[in-house]
Amino acid sequence: MPRGYVALVLHAHLPYVRDREDDFSLAEKWYHEAVTETYIPLIYICQRLNRDQVPYKITISLSPPLTAMMADTLVQEHYRHYLERLRELAAREVWRTRNDPRFHVVARMYQDLFEKTYGTYLVYGGNLINAFRDLQDSGNVELITCAATHGYLPLIGLQREVVRAQIEVAVNNHRRLFGRPPAGLWLPECAYNPGDDAILRDYGLKYFFLDAHGLLYARPRPRYSIFAPVYTPAGVAAFGRDLESSKQVWSAQEGYPGDCDYREFYRDIGYDLDFDYIKPYIHPSGLRLDTGMKYYRITGKSNYKEPYVPEWASFKAHTHAGNFLFNREHQINYLADYMDRPPIIVCPYDAELFGHWWFEGPQWLESLFRQVAGLAHRPFSFITPSEYLERFPVNQPATPCMSSWGNNGYNDVWLEGSNDWIYRHLHHAAAEMIRLANQHPTAEGLLLRALNQAARELLVAQSSDWAFIMKTGTMVDYAVGRTKKHLLNFWVLTRSIEKSDLDPEKVQDLEEDNNIFPDINYRVFASR
């Protein structure tokens, strides 16, 4: 038996930003960038590790809005256009920089990356669900789900039916896309409300994750603090985030991603190059945007930046992976001396950190798996929560504390001056949805479609992202607009249902505009 275990968990999520009207939507660009910089590189890594038979385990949470966008043909088409423009830009950049070896090598790196990305995209017919399903079937990757639209459950869950609907839709979506039920669930923002665990249990979910204090402040006090899960009163395992390893990767001051040799995120040729040259690759309105091609390294704290050197960055990623390994080994050796079972170190991260923010993150991850596999003394093993629970089925019973991984650790970020107004509207819409679901146990035809669409509009309005954007203060109008738009659509539908004057064209228009969860059944909102 190994001295201890490390569970790496990546949570991949973006709100549902499919835009039928605009094939150059700024919000949809979040998705395009994440596919290019994070999701496809993640797929590469796992494929290469599988090919080389490197032993590794990773848990990836794919949020339902993200998978819905991956599976959507319009989003796939938009992404292909985006990538084709990017490939064209990279080719022009390779030519433009031909006499400046410092930048030329970086331009070549991007060209190579985008060409490989394009190849991968075509191999899977533009549908990354197929790629993730293949990885899942390889046995090293555990795919789990998240609440249906990443709803912040402690705040939207005034009615139990809402939590139930968020979970049921997510589990059904996962089963439909990946061919098997998810073993566990990533609670949106790690936001836990005691009692929600009973609903997770009802849908066969065996585990979820908490921020460290959610577990540390559990009652009774957990024997192993955060180094073993507890069973909630409903019998679901709650794993706590390790503080030391998250600090090493995340911290703005001492975290790896801030290293001087890593790529500078904020210097992009979309802003730096001559307007007429870059115009075809930024927003059609002439708005300068990130293109994804960034030529500088972090260098230092000042605005002075030096050119990026890919080999130096790769070397750093490798060194930092070694440092992470070294620290986990020490942490585990210390804990294992005192514990009567091997400790588990749970390291959850936002997937988009790897590649998008921290460009070298995917290299770091691959290097970490390869270095651990290469050590003869096996300091620890990577593990998925499911495997851990199979090996250690007996765990302490305790009630975790209401908590989240947001600033201050509770509901503060999603309930404050900028966003508190939404809950009144979300709660009333939910009450109406529940009432209609109870009133119409067996709707058919147009009524069925209208009820299903009302459920879609409500679910998308419940995304935690809108409240989060309102709080951060950038693109606030977009978040307010999305919240209002979906709630107004909801009320248009439900009032027509009440008055029995549904307009088939209007229903169809809304269905085409917001087509998340094609197989949704509004009955998920019914009281039980």
Q: Which residue number, 94 or 346, has a Cβ lying nearer to other proteins?
A: 346
Minimum separation from the CB atom of position 346 to other proteins (A): 12
Site for other proteins in 181-210 (CB under 8 A): 188-189, 194
H-helix or E-strand spanning residue 429 = helix 421-439
Minimum separation from the CB atom of position 74 to other proteins (A): 16
Among 116, 221, 378, 495, interactor with other proteins by CB under 8 A: 221
Question: Per-residue x/- marks for other proteins, 260-299, CB under 8 A?
Answer: -----x-----x--xx-------x-xxxxx----------
* Burial grade of 160 (CB within 10 A; 0-12, 13-18, 19 or more): middle
Q: Which residue number, 42 or 226, has a Cβ lying nearer to other proteins?
A: 226
Residue 226 near residue 242, CB atoms below 8 Å: yes
Three-state SS annotation for 314-335: HHHHHHHHHHHHHHHHHHHHHH
Q: Which residue number, 181 or 220, has a Cβ lying nearer to other proteins?
A: 220
Report the C-alpha gap between 313 and 311 in whole angstroms. Answer: 5
Among 109, 353, 373, 502, interactor with other proteins by CB under 8 A: 353
Q: Which residue number, 443 or 454, has a Cβ lying nearer to other proteins?
A: 454
- Asked if omega into 257 is within 30° of 0 (cis), the reply is no
Residue 183 near residue 207, CB atoms below 8 Å: yes
Question: Per-residue x/- marks for other proteins, 113-152, CB under 8 A?
Answer: -------------------------------------x--
Report the C-alpha gap between 365 and 283 in whole angstroms. Answer: 33
Residue 55 near residue 373, CB atoms below 8 Å: yes
Minimum separation from the CB atom of position 412 to other proteins (A): 6
Binding-site size for other proteins (CB under 8 A) equals 103
* Burial grade of 268 (CB within 10 A; 0-12, 13-18, 19 or more): buried
Residue 231 near residue 397, CB atoms below 8 Å: yes
Among 3, 11, 78, 294, interactor with other proteins by CB under 8 A: 11
Among 367, 411, 452, 514, interactor with other proteins by CB under 8 A: 411
161 is an interface residue for other proteins by CB under 8 A: no
Report the C-alpha gap between 273 and 285 in whole angstroms. Answer: 17
Q: Which residue number, 102 or 330, has a Cβ lying nearer to other proteins?
A: 330
Among 149, 403, 494, 496, interactor with other proteins by CB under 8 A: 403
Cα first-last separation, the chain: 45
225 is an interface residue for other proteins by CB under 8 A: yes
227 is an interface residue for other proteins by CB under 8 A: yes
83 to 22, 74, 241, 276, 281: CA distances (angstroms): 16, 14, 35, 20, 11
Per the listing, tokens 């790529």 go with 263
Minimum separation from the CB atom of position 448 to other proteins (A): 26
Among 116, 180, 223, 378, interactor with other proteins by CB under 8 A: 223
Among 89, 90, 155, 524, interactor with other proteins by CB under 8 A: 155
Residue 186 near residue 153, CB atoms below 8 Å: no
Report the C-alpha gap between 440 and 485 in whole angstroms. Answer: 25
Among 165, 218, 237, 443, interactor with other proteins by CB under 8 A: 218
Among 18, 164, 213, 318, interactor with other proteins by CB under 8 A: 213
Among 44, 203, 217, 315, interactor with other proteins by CB under 8 A: 217
298 to 175, 261, 315: CA distances (angstroms): 42, 6, 15
CB under 8 A: which stretch of 52-60, 405-413, 449-457, 511-519 binds other proteins?
405-413
Annotate 110-132 with DSSP letters as a single string.
HHHHHHHHHHHHHHTTT-HHHHH
Tell me the HSE value of 126 on the side-chain side, using a 13 A CA sphere: 16
- Quick one: tokens of 207? 């585990």
Residue 527 makes CB contacts below 8 A (sequence gap 6+) with: 161, 434, 437, 438
Q: Which residue number, 22 or 88, has a Cβ lying nearer to other proteins?
A: 22
Minimum separation from the CB atom of position 409 to other proteins (A): 3
Site for other proteins in 31-70 (CB under 8 A): 33-34
Site for other proteins in 424-483 (CB under 8 A): 424-425, 427-428, 464-465, 468-469, 472-475, 477-478, 481-482
Q: Which residue number, 173 or 419, has a Cβ lying nearer to other proteins?
A: 419
Report the C-alpha gap between 362 and 371 in whole angstroms. Answer: 14
CB under 8 A: which stretch of 1-9, 95-103, 126-134, 411-419 binds other proteins?
411-419
CB under 8 A: which stretch of 80-88, 166-174, 305-313, 336-344 binds other proteins?
336-344
Minimum separation from the CB atom of position 176 to other proteins (A): 24
